[in-house]
Structure 1
Amino acid sequence: MKNLFLLLVCGLCFQSVGSFAQGYKIQVNIPQMSNKQVILANYFEGKVYAVDTAQINSNGTGYFQKNNKKLARGMYILLFSPSNYFDIMIGDNQNFSITTDTLQVIDKIRFEGSPENTAFLGFQKVMTSATQKSRQIKEAMEKDPAKTSPEAKKKYSARFDQIDKEVRDHIAGLCKQFPNSALATFANFTLSVPTPDFSKEIPENTPNRDFEIQKKEYLFSKAHYWDNTNFQDSTLIRTPIFKSKLDEFFNTRVLMIPDSVYKESVNIIEKSRGCKAMFRYLVSYCFNYALSNKYMGMDAAFVYLAKKYYLTGEADWVDKKTLENIEREVILTQYNLIGLKAQELKLPTMDGDWVSLYETEAPFTLLLFWEADCGHCKKQVPQVKTGLLDKFKPYGFKVFAVHTQNDKEKWENFVTEHELFDFINCWDPQNQTNFRVYYHIDSTPVMYLLDKEKKIIAKKLDIEQFADILTKEYKRIGVEVKNV
């Protein structure tokens, strides 16, 4: 399922924009590439995808051209070889020429008919220069014996601030000269929002002052992370830094709990309404992030996002089969999310007596679904006894073990062979409780850890991880577990 879902976003990298009477025509003049091919490619998801190829004639001239479709806005690459290429910006004007020298690309490149690319070249030079200057200042600071003195800190900080001001002034000029352009969107996106000096706001005698400063910095950074992002311009999708900035936001600014991931996902996605390509990309990105996230319980964010965007018909780019698979996964997951009360199970035992999950009195219960013929079960189910029940039974812990198959003889033999008599052994041969849906039983074994109220507190863990959580949970309720 995961591999299937992760394909949902891929079509965007090849997207072009229809135009009734316009296309694109980019002339390239590169003498050293005579009788060779030059590739036009675009950035997407940290990779590069070929879009078009130009055959260079004996005079060093070739064309990237289509008469009925324009290229999607974004940053593209002219590729001469895997180690020789340069970036260009594709905006609304897609009829221009490029002249360059493969030996001195940056120094020799010239654009005709594309002031935006001429400015983009200047922007790249400014950024390169700023990086070099910053590196030189950092090296000088590291060699300075007085670098920790207030005077030295102030001096070097002023130098860094001056470089930052030069870059910001340059970008402000670009945005003014090329409003609403692909270049303006990208250049502005590269700017971070300066963090205020919160140390001036918090008195010196404040308890845990450093922590309070860091907390304010974190909250400010999170609140203003997207200030310079134009979610109404799909240009950013085809740049080398947009996905990495999304990754950084979710990995460093968002608490790894389902509600937070869902809330921040919706907040970003809703900013893109009105720009179909950006909306599609962000819905797919956030959905895949929740789906592939390894934190226990994050499947809740997947369910919430699927219900809001996929199962309501808003993700109209997804094919019917994929939507059916998503819907099935939601149905099988929505009843067994962390924090929900487990569904009641009233089942017969081997002897024909009846047991109830809800009536099982225990501070913690392991709900186990297994089968006697399952290879993994043959290894793990006996470990449930030795690694969990034998250790935690003195503290009231119980195992509610549901055999999922109909072969009673094999079930009884396995229980007898491994002495699983202290399990609450039961089964549902007629599937009257619909346990396969409520507990997502596609394979076995499947285990859920429940609290006293039968709320799910852990799942999809190995025996040692369940033991660790049980120890912590018992400690939380005032019980010190020994010899674990």
Structure 2
Amino acid sequence: MANNPRVFLFLLMLGFSLTQAQAKNNVAPEEPDGYQISITLSPLKNCWVHLHSYYGKYAQLIDSAWLDENSKGLFKGTTKLTGGFYYVSPPLKNHSFEFLVGDQQHFSVKADTAHPEKLVIKGSADNIPFLQYNNYVQENTPRLKALQARWKGATNAADSIRYHSEWEKLYKALFDYRETIEQQYPESMFTMFLQSLKMPQPPPTPVLPDGRKDSLFAARYIKAHYWDQVPLHDNRLLHTPPAFFEDKIEHYFRYYVVPDADTLISEVNYLLLASRAGKDMFKYLLGRFTDKYINPEIMGHDKVFIFLFNEYFSKGDTTWLSTRQKQYIFDRAYSLMANQIGEAAAPLNLLDTAGKQAAIYSINAPFTFLVFWDPNCGHCKEMIPRIDSIYQHKWKNQGIGLYAVNVDEKVLDEWKKYITTHHLTGWVHAYQPKADKEEDAKAGRANYRQLYDVFQTPTLYLLDRDKHIIGKKLSLEQFDQVMQAKMNKQANQVR
């Protein structure tokens, strides 16, 4: 019964940056000359080749060109392309090759699928440093790989040390050459891209008053200076292979950001504010973080999405969204606001199997396990007996309460039969009659589906004694671990 919108949300939000895709579709040109890239790609003839752009971790098809009998073709459009890395993909995609598109967008490219080192680009100053660096890498990569193989395959320590030393020298030479390119072309787009790759280099580690070295200094320094050479407002950075930007974001959040919701909110907001001057970059990052936290993998991280909604979506900062997209995001936000970790659970005053009121706040227990389920749901039929097993053998003796809501009032007989057949005793079993649902709707009151984000079954929550939410959407084993850890902590505090 699950409905997972994650698959399409990010791309819907982005609209996949239609600037390039519209270039050939009746869009008024930003500049009169647009782009015109002539290509000669030997030995291919009489076939289509395609021009792609990177877009964060995605790729965009920008244009297509037909190669004639002379292996010549033309990519042409009336709107200038956003600067960055582009690549041509022939029928055999493993033969694709890259080049830069900068301010000069009328140039020629000559390549050979069998000899990538013979790439020639004329009429584009932005590609001069790129080709120099690319040729150097093409020349030395085989040597690096050979030395690495010898180093790893060495049969004695002396050879291992020798090959490793030679490999390190060649690897360092690669970085030294990169520095040379940056010094020769300090204002080039390619230099900007190379600088964005760099990790901050900490100064010598200071000594603490007690004489020890500060072991955390390097990590703090790198985090504080991580984005110094990354122009987050520059849309061109989006149009680079993932290593230049997307992987850098992943690395930062994985190794330098404490994964609690409040810290994540601070870091996400910094990146969004820093990228605000770049329309495409801001749109990309907002979409990326929304996609990650709207249905997060870690409990409590949906708080980040709630922040994004309150700070950006609800203030009208996302005019590029369609009515459908806005409706989905607003609905998700309203469904999550009422069930955040640490907040009081919404009251549930439903009817039990005998038709009597059963209020969840009337349960006096150190913890209350809350289940929304459907007796005809296959996953529920697997999960409910497992919950009852741990309840009867462990939780019941610990005084833990169990409140279960049947989400389908049309199958009351099947619901009651399931409860009886599986001996689900000690639980509070409840449901909301159709008439009560309709009354809530007429009065404009949020129903339990919205208050508890119940759009798939089973949906599980854990509440503390005061009915504050302390766990949701975990595995059964994880819920048990949370309870046992809290009970152990309380026991230690009493001693």
How does the TM-score come out when normalised to structure 1? 0.83
Q: Is structure 2 residue 480 aligned with structure 1 residue 467?
A: yes
Correspondence list, 1:195-234, <5 A: 195-198=202-205, 201-202=207-208, 206=212, 213=215, 215-234=216-235
Q: Is structure 2 residue 447 aligned with structure 1 residue 434?
A: yes
Post-superposition offset of 1:253: 2.8
* CA deviation profile, 1:367-420 (whole Å, cap 9, x unmatched): 222344444434433332221254122222111233344465554444333333
Correspondence list, 1:83-482, <5 A: 83-107=94-118, 109-127=119-137, 145=157, 164-176=175-187, 178=188, 181=189, 183-198=190-205, 201-202=207-208, 206=212, 213=215, 215-241=216-242, 242-351=245-354, 354-406=357-409, 409-429=413-433, 430-431=436-437, 434-478=447-491
| Secondary structure at 2:80 match in 1 | strand
- State how far apart, in whole Å, the 1-side matches of 2:139 and 2:260 are: 41
Query: Retained in 2: the 8 A contact 1:24–1:65?
Result: yes
| Secondary structure at 1:368 match in 2 | strand
- State how far apart, in whole Å, the 1-side matches of 2:376 and 2:45 are: 68
- State how far apart, in whole Å, the 2-side matches of 1:169 and 1:463 are: 57
| Secondary structure at 2:15 match in 1 | helix
Query: Retained in 1: the 8 A contact 2:129–2:181?
Result: no
- State how far apart, in whole Å, the 1-side matches of 2:171 and 2:207 are: 23
Query: Retained in 2: the 8 A contact 1:24–1:70?
Result: yes
Letter in 2 for 1:472: A
- State how far apart, in whole Å, the 2-side matches of 1:376 and 1:31 are: 56
- State how far apart, in whole Å, the 1-side matches of 2:247 and 2:255 are: 12
Query: Retained in 1: the 8 A contact 2:199–2:222?
Result: no
Letter in 2 for 1:287: T
Shift of the 131–339 alpha-carbon distance from structure 1 to 2, 3 Å rule, reads farther
- State how far apart, in whole Å, the 1-side matches of 2:13 and 2:140 are: 35
Post-superposition offset of 1:264: 1.6
- State how far apart, in whole Å, the 2-side matches of 1:354 and 1:102 are: 75
Query: Retained in 1: the 8 A contact 2:380–2:458?
Result: yes
How does the TM-score come out when normalised to structure 2? 0.82
Aligned-pair identity (%): 25
| Secondary structure at 1:344 match in 2 | coil
Query: Retained in 2: the 8 A contact 1:341–1:455?
Result: yes
**5+ residue gaps, structure 2:** 24-28, 441-445
- State how far apart, in whole Å, the 2-side matches of 1:311 and 1:416 are: 47
Shift of the 380–295 alpha-carbon distance from structure 1 to 2, 3 Å rule, reads same
Post-superposition offset of 1:292: 4.8
- State how far apart, in whole Å, the 2-side matches of 1:325 and 1:275 are: 25
Shift of the 380–190 alpha-carbon distance from structure 1 to 2, 3 Å rule, reads closer
Post-superposition offset of 1:322: 1.4
Post-superposition offset of 1:273: 0.9
* CA deviation profile, 1:138-163 (whole Å, cap 9, x unmatched): 789887958999xxx99998987675
- State how far apart, in whole Å, the 2-side matches of 1:438 and 1:342 are: 9
* CA deviation profile, 1:159-198 (whole Å, cap 9, x unmatched): 876754442342243224x3xx3x2332222222223443
| Secondary structure at 1:358 match in 2 | helix
Shift of the 128–397 alpha-carbon distance from structure 1 to 2, 3 Å rule, reads same
Letter in 2 for 1:174: Y
- State how far apart, in whole Å, the 2-side matches of 1:410 and 1:55 are: 64
- State how far apart, in whole Å, the 1-side matches of 2:107 and 2:194 are: 21
Post-superposition offset of 1:423: 1.6
Once superposed, what is the RMSD of the aligned Cα atoms? 3.5
| Secondary structure at 1:308 match in 2 | helix
- State how far apart, in whole Å, the 1-side matches of 2:96 and 2:374 are: 58
Q: Is structure 2 residue 63 aligned with structure 1 residue 52?
A: yes
Letter in 1 for 2:202: T
- State how far apart, in whole Å, the 2-side matches of 1:382 and 1:328 are: 32
Shift of the 387–268 alpha-carbon distance from structure 1 to 2, 3 Å rule, reads same
Aligned residues: 466
- State how far apart, in whole Å, the 1-side matches of 2:209 and 2:159 are: 26
- State how far apart, in whole Å, the 2-side matches of 1:156 and 1:197 are: 26
Query: Retained in 1: the 8 A contact 2:117–2:138?
Result: no
Structure 2 match to 1:64: 75
Structure 2 match to 1:25: 36
| Secondary structure at 1:365 match in 2 | strand
